[in-house]
């Protein structure tokens, strides 16, 4: 095998221009496929980061009525019980669930103000002690909630940046007082998304999908929620899983557990807990993107087919040129398998070199496409290995016929040819 490899390199080097032109189809085909696949993988990763968030594997499970989120302004739904400690423990025991938090909320609240400044269309959340950590939020100024805030029903609040700007323009919110439905709350901290969990926002659709509230969010301890709203109001749940792939399964499991609390609801089909399947939305976009780009891969594969035919043609020419050499080898005792392996090796080495050059060209092409169009690219080692292996396979397949022709030559007739 080593000798065959050496002969193959010598033959390719002896006809450098011819060998390069033969490899050109393979180079173009592999380069095109590498560039397209890298763009597909980069786009898929971006879609996942856009919709799910980099590392923020959170799934919200909330109460729905039909196809819409249940509006608590309509009052508590009949037959839906508050979340018990037993249910909380079951949700935390779900496979691949790292953290879980339970909360109440009101969307589009207009009754939040600080002096003459009003938070219009914002959101108020009554959260438990693990809410910030579960969602990947960090306190960047002031403090978060402590145990005494819950035990002593302290009317404290933390604000996001939008709410802080709206309620305290040009001022330090820490220590300030806000009113929620005419109840005073003291601002103790400001929070924002941890940099480790920031999503990639590149379009208005991404913004609308991921931004919680344009006007800001106010979070208070859930122990204080009955001061503003109903005492035994059904809560929502958010869980964080160990990986993105576990989100859908864990979210469905959590919804099933919470739905045991609505088994006595007046209309079971209308009211139920549902998991927000953001991952499924990302997958649908990925599938649409992949189906479009698969056509490009088939077009690029035509170049590989042309390259394979070129390899077959040049190997047939090589067999014709080296007929006497083949006859001499067979006369000296070379077996058919030796001749077959020699030419197959030469063909495989030829296309493998073309594959390596094609991979290099594909990486460069992918970066050029990314620079010109802004499309993300992701080049993986398995893709590179697969590209080189596929180019070698092309050489073996299309080199098989010339190799068999060389192996089947009659030594006497081969020696007579000039």
pLDDT in tens, 281-323: 556 655 655 665 666 667 667 777 888 888 888 888 877 777 7
The predicted structure's pLDDT at residue 212: 46
**Range(s) of the domain holding residue 37:** 2-50+284-416
Do 61 and 44 belong together in one domain?
no
Do 377 and 264 belong together in one domain?
no
- Backbone dihedral region for residue 213 (phi beyond 0: left; psi -120 to 50: alpha; all else: beta): beta
Do 265 and 395 belong together in one domain?
no
The predicted structure's pLDDT at residue 237: 94
Do 259 and 327 belong together in one domain?
no
In this structure, how many other beta carbons lie within 10 angstroms of the beta carbon of residue 169?
Answer: 9
pLDDT in tens, 91-103: 999 999 999 999 9
Torsion of CA 81, 85, 87, 90, to 10 degrees: 180
The residue out of 250, 276, 302 marking a domain boundary is 276
CB 30 within 8 A of CB 387: yes
CB 224 within 8 A of CB 81: no
The predicted structure's pLDDT at residue 213: 45
Residue segments in the chain with a per-residue pLDDT below the cut of 70? 1-2, 4, 7, 44, 46-56, 195-214, 263-269, 277-297, 299-300, 410-418
The predicted structure's pLDDT at residue 230: 81
Do 242 and 319 belong together in one domain?
no
The residue out of 222, 256, 276 marking a domain boundary is 276
In total, how many domains does the chain have? 2
CB 68 within 8 A of CB 396: no
Do 316 and 356 belong together in one domain?
yes
Do 87 and 176 belong together in one domain?
yes
The span from the CA of 296 to the CA of 29, in Å, is: 11
The residue out of 224, 248, 276 marking a domain boundary is 276
Helix H, strand E, coil C: the string for 314-359 is: HHHHHHHHCHHHHHHHHHCCCCHHHHHHHHHHHHHHHHHHHHHHHH
Do 121 and 169 belong together in one domain?
yes
> What is this structure's pTM?
0.60
């Amino acid at each position: 095998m080593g000798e065959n490899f050496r002969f193959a390199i010598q033959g390719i080097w002896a006809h450098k221009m011819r060998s390069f032109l033969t490899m050109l189809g393979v180079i173009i085909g592999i380069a095109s496929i590498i560039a397209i696949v890298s763009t597909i993988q980069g786009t898929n990763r971006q879609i996942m980061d856009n919709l799910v968030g980099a590392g923020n594997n959170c799934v919200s499970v909330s109460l729905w009525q039909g196809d819409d989120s249940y509006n608590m302004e309509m009052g508590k739904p009949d037959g839906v019980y508050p979340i018990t400690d037993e249910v909380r423990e079951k949700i935390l025991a779900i496979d691949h669930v790292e953290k879980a938090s339970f909360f109440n909320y009101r969307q589009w609240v207009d009754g939040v103000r600080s002096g003459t400044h009003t938070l219009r269309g914002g959101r108020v959340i009554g959260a438990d002690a693990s809410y910030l950590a579960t969602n990947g939020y960090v306190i960047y100024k002031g403090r978060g909630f402590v145990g005494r805030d819950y035990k002593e029903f302290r009317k404290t609040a933390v604000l996001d940046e939008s709410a802080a700007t709206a309620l305290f323009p040009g001022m330090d919110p820490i220590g300030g007082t806000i009113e929620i439905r005419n109840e005073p709350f003291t601002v103790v901290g400001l929070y924002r998304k941890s940099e480790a969990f920031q999503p990639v926002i590149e379009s208005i659709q991404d913004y609308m999908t991921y931004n919680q509230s344009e006007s800001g969010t106010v979070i208070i301890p859930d122990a204080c929620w009955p001061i503003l709203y109903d005492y035994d109001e059904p809560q929502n749940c958010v869980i964080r899983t160990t990986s993105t792939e576990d989100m859908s399964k864990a979210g469905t499991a959590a919804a099933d557990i919470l739905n045991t609390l609505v088994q006595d609801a007046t209309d079971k089909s209308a009211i139920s807990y549902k998991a927000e399947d953001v991952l499924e939305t990302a997958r649908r976009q990925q599938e649409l993107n992949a189906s479009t780009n698969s056509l490009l891969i088939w077009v690029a594969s035509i170049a590989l087919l042309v390259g394979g035919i070129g390899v077959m043609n040049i190997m047939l020419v090589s067999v014709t040129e080296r007929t006497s050499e083949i006859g001499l080898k067979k006369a000296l005792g070379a077996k058919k398998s030796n001749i077959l392996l020699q030419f197959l090796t030469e063909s495989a080495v030829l296309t493998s070199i073309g594959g390596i050059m094609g991979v290099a060209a594909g990486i460069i092409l992918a970066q050029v496409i990314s620079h010109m169009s802004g499309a993300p690219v992701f080049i993986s080692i398995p893709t590179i290995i697969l590209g080189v292996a596929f180019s070698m396979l092309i050489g073996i397949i299309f080199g098989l016929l010339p190799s068999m022709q060389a192996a089947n030559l009659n030594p006497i007739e081969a020696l007579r040819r000039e």
